[in-house]
C-alpha cells in the first residue's frame, strides 16, 4: 500500500522464520561492547527508545565510527546480508531494483510498553536512497506526517510484527514518529516483550 508518494507499506513481508532469525541477530547486536544504549539529546533529555547501531554510529545529530556518546567502542560491522535484505525490500516495495549505493547503516530501536518516538525527520544521511524499516514484536501506531513540519496532516498506520515499510522519493524527508506501542500484541512464538524496529540506510559517507 502506498501511504504517500514513495512511502510503501508491505504488511507481513517477513515470515515467522525470518522474524526469528532477525530477532536472534538483534539480541546478539544488543550485547556490549558497542551494544544497546540510551540516547541523550542535546537538550539533556533521554530518549525512551534504546538503540544499537551497525556500520555507523548515530548520535544526535551525526554519524561516527565509534560509540561517541557511549562506551567509546568501534561500532559493530554492518553485515553483507543486511544490504541484500535492504535491496530485496526496496525491490518488493517499488517493483524495481534498488540503486547502486550499498546499504551500510542499521539502527535497531527497542521499545518497551511505554516507549515513544516524537515526530522528527531523518536528515543525517548524505544519500537520498530509500530507508527500509522492519518491525518485530508488539504492534505500534506509526505516525506518518508531511515534509513541512510537525503538525497535521498526518496518517496513523499500525505496524505489526513482520511488516516492511520503505520511505523514498518525496517521503524520504517526511516527519514521522511512534506515538504508541500496543503492549502484549507480539506474536507468541517470537518470544519478544516489546517492539523492535530495524531501519536500513545508505550513509553516503566514506570510511
Ligand atoms: C520515514 N524509527 O529510527 S520506523 C528512526 O519505528 C525511526 O523505530 C521509527 O523513525 C521506529 O529514525 C519509525 C519508520 C521510518 C524510519 C525511517 C524513516 C520512517 C521514516 C526515514 C524517513 C522517512
Ligand atoms: Fe526516523
- The residue whose CB lies within 8 Å of the most ligand 1 atoms, and thus the one to mutate among 5, 60, 199, 202, is 199
**Ligand with the closest atom to the CA of 201:** 1
CA dihedral 140, 145, 147, 149 (to 10 degrees): -110
Q: Any residues with Cβ below 6 Å from ligand 1, and which?
A: 107, 109, 117, 122, 131, 133, 142, 165, 167, 171-172, 174, 176, 178, 197, 199
Long-range contacts, 37-40 (Cβ 8 Å, 24+): 37/67, 37/69, 37/70, 37/71, 39/69, 40/69
Closest ligand (CA of 173): 1
User: Closest ligand 1 atom to the C-alpha of 107?
Assistant: 3
Q: What is the pLDDT of residue 143?
A: 98
Going along the chain from its start, the domains and CATH numbers come out as 2-201 (2.60.120.590)
pLDDT at 207: 86
Could you report the average pLDDT of every consecutive run of 10 residues in the chain (207 residues)? 97 98 98 98 96 98 97 98 98 98 98 98 98 98 97 98 98 98 98 98 96
Amino acid at each position: 500500500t502506498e501511504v504517500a508518494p514513495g512511502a510503501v507499506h508491505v504488511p507481513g513481508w517477513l515470515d515467522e522464520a525470518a522474524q526469528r532469525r532477525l530477532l536472534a541477530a538483534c539480541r546478539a547486536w544488543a550485547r556490549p561492547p558497542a551494544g544497546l544504549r540510551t540516547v541523550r539529546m542535546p537538550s539533556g533529555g533521554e530518549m525512551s527508545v534504546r538503540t544499537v547501531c551497525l556500520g555507523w554510529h548515530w548520535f544526535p545529530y551525526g554519524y561516527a565510527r565509534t560509540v561517541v556518546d557511549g562506551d567509546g567502542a568501534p561500532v559493530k560491522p554492518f553485515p553483507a546480508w543486511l544490504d541484500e535484505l535492504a535491496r530485496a525490500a526496496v525491490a518488493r516495495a517499488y517493483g524495481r531494483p534498488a540503486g547502486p549505493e550499498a546499504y551500510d547503516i542499521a539502527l535497531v530501536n527497542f521499545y518497551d510498553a511505554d516507549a515513544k518516538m516524537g515526530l522528527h525527520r531523518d536528515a543525517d544521511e548524505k544519500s537520498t536512497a530509500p530507508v527500509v524499516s522492519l518491525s518485530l514484536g508488539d504492534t505500534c501506531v506509526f505516525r506518518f506526517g508531511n515534509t513541512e513540519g510537525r503538525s497535521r496532516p498526518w496518517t496513523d498506520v499500525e505496524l505489526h510484527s513482520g511488516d516492511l515499510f520503505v520511505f523514498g522519493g518525496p517521503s524520504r524527508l517526511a516527519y514521522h514518529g511512534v506515538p504508541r506501542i500496543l503492549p502484549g500484541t507480539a506474536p507468541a512464538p517470537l518470544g519478544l516483550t516489546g517492539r523492535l524496529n530495524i531501519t536500513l540506510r545508505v550513509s553516503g559517507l566514506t570510511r
